[in-house]
């Protein structure tokens, strides 16, 4: 900028680094303007700068005159006049200096009068500045170094400044002008006089000065004089070797040297930064030089004019971006930092700013505003008193941030100004990775491989974070990973998302729409973004940036400030965090959170639990992090190999965890344990599966809203979703998610929270060493069944377990995949016979049942066993219970669970019966009639009759395949008068049902299928269960070609003679006549049929025409049947006689025959007796 006669504002303590200082209490060895109470000592061996060159132009009187000029300038800037004491002091100093100077320059020497500088002065500086040497000096030295200033003028200016810094007259002026400040500041009053230490001390304590004149005096000196490293007290000696080694400039002042040597210091600063970034063990810069470089940077932190290299590099950028920013207190630096990545920022200025930021990273005191704002807080929080840490480390920006952030997280007071400064520098660290030397040193290979060209606005850092979380093909080195974690800990973006500029820009739209109700900068913004992850409101770029940041936050629980605040007491009590280093370096990644969420789901009986607030917070975070396995450090570490082996192609949201659950049995033990634990928690709290909860929101609101509104979930919500899995509100995503969870539950009974809670003790007692849920359910079900059959006095399975066991059995019946013992043998059959059938709603099982004749042997066996169980317990027949749900409520609400199917069969032909339910009942009847073992009622009623009459059939019985109705057919033949009453009733029901629907007679359907398709097409197509197909077969008896079918029809005719109810067509035709003529006749055993036959023969009785016609047809059929199918035995003959229309005649003939035989026998007996007697007499 152009020179100004107004005094500069307070700038860091540059004057303390000039030749006014010495060793011991020099500025390089004194306290920083804003630093902690204890500082590192200055470089040893510092000494005053040498005298000016003897051949240089002499300006002997200049110091005194310019000292007076300084005080005069200070006076004119204030509202009060200079005190008389000050004027006297200035006069005394002037006289003293004049006496020691050559006579020709006794008083009033002006730079503007020197011939060496007159041309440059008239060309570059305003005329009103010519009378003030300091204004002239400021004007000329603020010109660019490449400006054409005469070499003699450059040399004159340098010697003039050197005379200023070495003349003791300035100390006398300082004593007079700053008398009040010296009295207030004890350290300055004790300084030795005459060696320049006093002014150095005053500069150090400039921020504490209340005297305006004194402050302006010191500030003016700092802003004008210290523009050359050779004027810095001891700097040349400390850094001479480094300057030569690094070729940063020449030490001698020659006629060609420019008056500003800022480039030399800039060169050393860059070398210092480069040394840290490369980790160079040779360390060309010695420790005393390093401290001197950082001290110079610290002293120039107040006013950017004092950093000569940065001033010249950024002078135009300052005018462009920070024109209205007042100089002083580091304000211009901060303004330029904020615009560092603007497109209009020059590269030269950006590089200079970056170098200064890197110095701040090495020593926070290089930032004036940060050091000043946080000085008291650093002392209060004891951030400089850590035992065992090197002193240099205490000055690191990262250490300061970590220490103060830890205090904030623990609820300790930290000043608002300090927190604001911390926020700025945390944002600075996140914006530019190069400010962290550890990142540059340890992540160089990763940056070159993956992240080149992404330097600005935090893009490189996020690129490294993406590689660190495993989103890149190449793995990140462990040291680089540690450096990234340390940087995130220092920046702490979890406390305020705005610190992460890349995240802030990527997620701005999402925040404005989804999180607008949260205060800007609140830590809960990140939580809100996580809750909307993978939703339609989330944008892809925001999703990536968010997951990259959350990956590192999840590895240090202190990076989530809300979690830390609410759980720090619980963590100390339950997880022993007090034993870990406060900085978290020794803390295993994610260990504290893993400990917390294990305790979050403990019951009162399981021991110590979390506080309520902490538990809520832990669950919130667990719900969010479960979306991505990489956000669970323990899981990712243990399952890294398995993820690569089994789940490399599962890249969509939530797929990796689902994949691990699917391959649970194949995982290594460590991975299986952590996946199992997480799945167990998921069964208790379905909110952990956030994607499933979102997908099922519609069905939850309609059917499960009462459960969802309850904060504590104990597996009820998942149970509700399972029960309503096939409602119309259920979408594919929700159905798939619920089914997947059911499938996972089958792998371990612990994965079903309600079942585990209800049956854990029973499992340990009755089914030890069994882990799979399906096996546990089978074990417990068998125990319940055995106890029931044996009528045990007390059930071994507890009541609460039996109730939950029923729920599990019903759920398993819905999907064949939930029963591995059934699903595995039938996989090939499913792909062959039911490729397009859905698994849900038991549709796949139903398909296999319908195709059971084509099933493989193993699958057929499993299906048969399933049907046997379902017929015994109809509640497990999912399709029946689903299709007939309303009919069960209507007709069977009071029926026992095991009698539901029987109840439905009894009401099957009701006008109120739903057609779909009626069709389902018929299917189950067809199944039952294929084998007596599938009809538990028949089996119980005929348990004595079956082995008595059908033993040959039982001898051929196979445990796992149907007998195709052979036992039922056997019992039918004995129906007339040989069966027990209970068995006879059951056979009568079967005969009546099969007479209405031929499909209920397996033997008839098996042998007559072709005949039906040839002769009775229309009747079969009508599917009216009125016996029309059977009637068609009877009418076409003579046309039947297949002997087996003809035999079945003849058998059917025989059965109809035994009971008119077995012949529905005849029964319908003769219903009125039965009521009129045979009402008193007991049904069964052909009695009503005989009654009708007698009425037909009785001329006095008039039957209905249709009944008369049907009866005559039946007589003809029976006559034909008797011819083509004579009695196979005495029993058949007896049946035929008893059911014959000429029964009485036949019985009379049989009786007469018996009497005749008896008389003949009697007669023959007497004759033989007489013959025997005659023989004896002989």
Tens digit of each residue's pLDDT (9 = 90 or more) over 664-686: 999 999 999 999 999 998 888 88
Average pLDDT over residues 388-401: 68
Q: For position 540, what pLDDT does the model report?
A: 93
Report whether pLDDT(69) > 70: no
Average pLDDT over residues 239-258: 64
Tens digit of each residue's pLDDT (9 = 90 or more) over 91-100: 333 333 333 3
Q: For position 608, what pLDDT does the model report?
A: 72
CA dist., res. 192 & res. 196, Å (int): 8
C-alpha distance from residue 118 to each of 60, 125, 127, 227, 256 (Å):
19, 10, 11, 21, 18
CA dist., res. 709 & res. 711, Å (int): 6
Q: For position 1144, what pLDDT does the model report?
A: 66
Report whether pLDDT(1142) > 90: no
Q: For position 1133, what pLDDT does the model report?
A: 56
Tens digit of each residue's pLDDT (9 = 90 or more) over 131-178: 877 777 777 766 654 456 777 777 777 677 656 655 666 667 777 778
pLDDT band per the 50, 70, 90 thresholds, residue 21: very low
pLDDT band per the 50, 70, 90 thresholds, residue 82: very low
> Are the beta carbons of 5 and 72 closer than 8 angstroms?
no
Q: For position 221, what pLDDT does the model report?
A: 65
Q: For position 505, what pLDDT does the model report?
A: 92
Report whether pLDDT(658) > 80: yes
Q: For position 500, what pLDDT does the model report?
A: 93
CA dist., res. 284 & res. 242, Å (int): 6
CA dist., res. 383 & res. 620, Å (int): 33
Share of the chain above pLDDT 70, in %: 78
Q: For position 848, what pLDDT does the model report?
A: 95
pLDDT band per the 50, 70, 90 thresholds, residue 43: very low
> Are the beta carbons of 20 and 32 closer than 8 angstroms?
no
Report whether pLDDT(944) > 80: yes
* Residue 1139 or 207, more confident: 207
CA dist., res. 4 & res. 2, Å (int): 6
Q: For position 30, what pLDDT does the model report?
A: 35
Tens digit of each residue's pLDDT (9 = 90 or more) over 1034-1070: 888 888 888 899 888 888 887 777 778 788 888 888 9
CA dist., res. 595 & res. 677, Å (int): 12
Tens digit of each residue's pLDDT (9 = 90 or more) over 644-656: 889 888 878 788 8
Tens digit of each residue's pLDDT (9 = 90 or more) over 205-219: 766 677 777 877 777
CA dist., res. 1026 & res. 293, Å (int): 109
Tens digit of each residue's pLDDT (9 = 90 or more) over 713-769: 678 888 889 888 888 888 888 988 998 999 999 999 999 999 999 999 999 999 998
Tens digit of each residue's pLDDT (9 = 90 or more) over 1011-1026: 999 999 888 888 777 8
CA dist., res. 1013 & res. 715, Å (int): 54
| The CA-based dihedral angle spanning residues 962, 965, 967, 971, taken in that order and rounded to the nearest 10 degrees | 160
Average pLDDT over residues 457-462: 87
CA dist., res. 529 & res. 500, Å (int): 14
* Residue 271 or 59, more confident: 271
Tens digit of each residue's pLDDT (9 = 90 or more) over 578-610: 655 444 445 688 889 988 988 888 776 666 788
CA dist., res. 653 & res. 936, Å (int): 49
- Write down the pTM of the prediction: 0.71
Report whether pLDDT(810) > 60: yes
In DSSP terms, 232 is beta-bridged to: 18
Average pLDDT over residues 903-931: 91
Sign of CA dihedral 1164, 1169, 1172, 1173: negative
pLDDT band per the 50, 70, 90 thresholds, residue 230: low
pLDDT band per the 50, 70, 90 thresholds, residue 1139: low
Two tokens, residue 683: 């069964």
Q: For position 976, what pLDDT does the model report?
A: 66
Q: For position 253, what pLDDT does the model report?
A: 45
DSSP state of 18: B
> Are the beta carbons of 819 and 839 closer than 8 angstroms?
no
* 785: nearest Cα among 770, 795, 774, 793: 795
Q: For position 251, what pLDDT does the model report?
A: 47
Q: For position 803, what pLDDT does the model report?
A: 92
Report whether pLDDT(442) > 60: yes
Tens digit of each residue's pLDDT (9 = 90 or more) over 504-552: 999 999 999 999 999 998 999 999 999 999 889 999 999 999 999 999 9
Tens digit of each residue's pLDDT (9 = 90 or more) over 813-833: 889 999 989 999 999 999 999
Average model confidence (pLDDT) for the chain?
A: 79
> Are the beta carbons of 563 and 620 closer than 8 angstroms?
no
Report whether pLDDT(240) > 90: no
């Amino acid at each position: 900028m152009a020179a100004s006669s107004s005094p500069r504002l307070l700038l860091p303590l540059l004057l303390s680094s000039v030749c006014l200082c010495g060793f011991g209490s020099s500025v390089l060895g004194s306290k920083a303007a804003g630093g902690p109470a204890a500082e590192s000592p200055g470089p040893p061996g510092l000494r005053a700068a040498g005298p000016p060159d003897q051949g240089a132009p002499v300006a002997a009187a200049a110091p005194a005159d310019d000292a007076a000029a300084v005080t005069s300038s200070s006076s004119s800037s204030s509202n009060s006049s200079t005190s008389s004491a000050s004027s006297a002091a200035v006069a005394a100093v002037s006289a003293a200096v004049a006496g020691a100077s050559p006579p020709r320059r006794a008083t009033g020497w002006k730079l503007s009068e020197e011939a060496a500088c007159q041309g440059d002065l008239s060309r570059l500086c305003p005329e009103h500045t010519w009378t003030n040497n300091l204004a002239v000096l400021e004007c000329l030295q603020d010109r660019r170094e490449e400006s054409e200033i005469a070499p003699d003028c450059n040399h004159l200016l340098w010697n003039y400044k050197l005379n200023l810094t070495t003349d003791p007259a300035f100390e006398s002026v300082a004593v007079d002008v700053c008398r009040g400040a010296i009295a207030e500041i004890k350290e300055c009053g004790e300084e030795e006089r005459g060696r320049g230490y006093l002014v150095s001390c005053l500069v150090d304590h400039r921020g504490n000065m209340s005297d305006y004149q004194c402050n302006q005096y010191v500030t003016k000196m700092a802003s004008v004089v210290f523009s050359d490293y050779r004027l810095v007290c001891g700097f040349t000696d400390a850094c001479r070797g480094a300057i030569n080694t690094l070729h940063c400039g020449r030490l001698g002042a020659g006629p060609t040297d420019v008056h500003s040597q800022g480039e030399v210091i800039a060169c050393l600063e860059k070398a210092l930064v480069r040394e840290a970034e490369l980790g160079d063990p040779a360390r060309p810069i010695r420790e005393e030089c390093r401290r001197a470089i950082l001290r110079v940077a610290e002293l120039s932190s107040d006013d950017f004019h004092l950093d000569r290299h940065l001033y010249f590099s950024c002078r135009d950028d300052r005018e462009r971006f920070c024109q209205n920013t007042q100089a002083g207190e580091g304000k211009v630096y901060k303004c330029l930092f904020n615009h560092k990545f603007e497109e209009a920022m020059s590269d030269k200025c950006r590089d200079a700013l970056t170098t200064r930021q890197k110095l701040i990273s090495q020593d926070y005191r290089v930032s004036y505003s940060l050091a000043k704002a946080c000085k008291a807080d650093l002392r209060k929080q004891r951030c400089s008193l850590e035992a065992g840490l090197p002193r240099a480390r205490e000055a690191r920006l990262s250490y300061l941030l970590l220490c103060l952030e830890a205090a904030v997280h623990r609820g300790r007071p930290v000043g608002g100004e300090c927190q604001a400064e911390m926020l700025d520098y945390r944002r600075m660290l996140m914006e530019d990775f190069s400010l962290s030397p550890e990142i540059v040193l340890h992540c160089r290979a990763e940056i070159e491989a993956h992240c080149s060209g992404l330097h600005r606005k935090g893009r490189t850092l996020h690129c490294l974070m993406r590689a660190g979380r495993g989103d890149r093909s190449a793995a990140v080195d462990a040291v680089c990973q540690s450096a990234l974690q340390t940087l995130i800990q220092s920046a702490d973006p979890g406390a305020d998302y705005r610190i992460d500029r890349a995240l802030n820009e990527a997620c701005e739209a999402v925040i404005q729409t989804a999180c607008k109700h949260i205060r800007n900068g609140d830590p809960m913004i990140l939580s809100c973004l996580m809750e909307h992850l993978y939703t339609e409101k989330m944008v892809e770029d925001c999703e990536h940036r968010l997951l990259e940041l959350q990956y590192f936050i999840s590895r240090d629980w202190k990076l989530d400030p809300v979690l830390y605040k609410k759980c720090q007491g619980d963590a100390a009590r339950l997880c022993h965090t007090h034993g870990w280093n406060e900085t978290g370096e020794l803390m295993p990644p994610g260990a504290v959170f893993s400990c917390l969420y294990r305790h979050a789901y403990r019951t009162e009986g399981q021991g110590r639990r979390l506080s309520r607030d902490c538990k809520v917070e832990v669950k919130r975070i667990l719900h969010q992090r479960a979306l991505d396995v990489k956000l669970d450090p323990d899981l990712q570490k243990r399952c890294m190999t398995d993820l690569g082996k089994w789940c490399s192609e599962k890249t969509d949201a939530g797929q990796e965890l689902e994949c691990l659950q699917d391959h649970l049995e194949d995982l290594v033990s460590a991975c299986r344990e952590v996946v199992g634990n997480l799945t167990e928690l998921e069964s208790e709290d379905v909110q952990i599966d956030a994607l499933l909860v979102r997908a099922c929101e519609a069905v939850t609101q309609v059917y499960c809203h009462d459960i969802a509104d309850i904060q504590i979930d104990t597996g009820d919500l998942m149970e509700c979703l399972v029960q309503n899995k096939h409602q119309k509100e259920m979408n594919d995503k929700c159905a798939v998610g619920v089914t997947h969870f059911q499938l996972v539950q089958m792998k371990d009974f612990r994965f079903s929270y309600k079942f585990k809670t209800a049956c854990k003790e029973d499992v340990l007692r009755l089914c030890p060493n069994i882990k799979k849920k399906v096996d546990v359910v089978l074990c417990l079900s068998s125990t319940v069944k055995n106890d029931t059959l044996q009528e045990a006095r007390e059930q071994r399975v507890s009541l609460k377990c039996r109730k939950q066991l029923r729920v599990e059995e019903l759920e398993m019946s819905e999907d064949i995949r939930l029963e591995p013992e059934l699903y595995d043998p039938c996989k090939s059959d499913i792909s062959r016979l039911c490729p397009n059938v859905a698994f849900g709603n038991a549709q796949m099982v139903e398909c296999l049942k319908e195709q059971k004749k084509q099933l493989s042997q193993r699958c057929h066996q499993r299906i048969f066993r399933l049907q046997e169980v379902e017929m015994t317990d109809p509640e497990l027949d999912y399709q029946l219970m689903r299709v007939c749900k309303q009919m069960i409520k209507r007709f069977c609400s009071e029926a026992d669970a095991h009698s539901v199917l029987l109840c439905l069969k009894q009401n099957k032909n009701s006008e109120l019966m739903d057609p779909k339910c009626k069709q389902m009942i018929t299917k189950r009847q067809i199944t039952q009639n294929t084998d007596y073992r599938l009809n538990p009622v028949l089996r119980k009623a005929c348990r004595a009759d079956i082995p008595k009459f059908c033993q040959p059939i039982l001898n051929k019985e196979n445990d796992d395949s149907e007998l195709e109705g052979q036992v039922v057919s056997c019992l039918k033949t004995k129906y007339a008068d040989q069966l027990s009453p209970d068995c006879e009733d059951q056979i009568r029901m079967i005969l009546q049902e099969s007479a209405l629907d031929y499909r209920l007679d397996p033997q008839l359907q098996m042998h007559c299928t072709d005949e039906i398709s040839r002769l009775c097409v229309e009747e079969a197509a009508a599917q009216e269960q009125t016996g029309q197909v059977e009637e068609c077969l009877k009418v076409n008896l003579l046309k039947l070609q297949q002997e087996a079918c003809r035999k079945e029809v003849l058998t059917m005719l025989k059965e109809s003679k035994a009971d008119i109810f077995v012949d529905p067509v005849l029964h319908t035709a003769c219903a009125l006549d039965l009521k009129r003529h045979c009402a008193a006749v007991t049904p069964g055993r052909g009695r009503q049929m005989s009654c009708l036959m007698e009425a037909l023969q009785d001329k006095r009785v008039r039957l209905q025409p249709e009944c008369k016609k049907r009866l005559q047809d039946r007589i003809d059929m029976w006559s034909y049947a008797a011819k083509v199918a004579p009695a196979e035995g005495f029993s058949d003959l007896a049946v035929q006689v008893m059911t014959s229309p000429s029964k009485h005649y036949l019985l009379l003939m049989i009786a007469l025959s018996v009497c005749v035989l008896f008389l003949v026998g009697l007669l023959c007996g007497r004759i033989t007796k007489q013959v025997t007697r005659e023989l004896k007499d002989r």
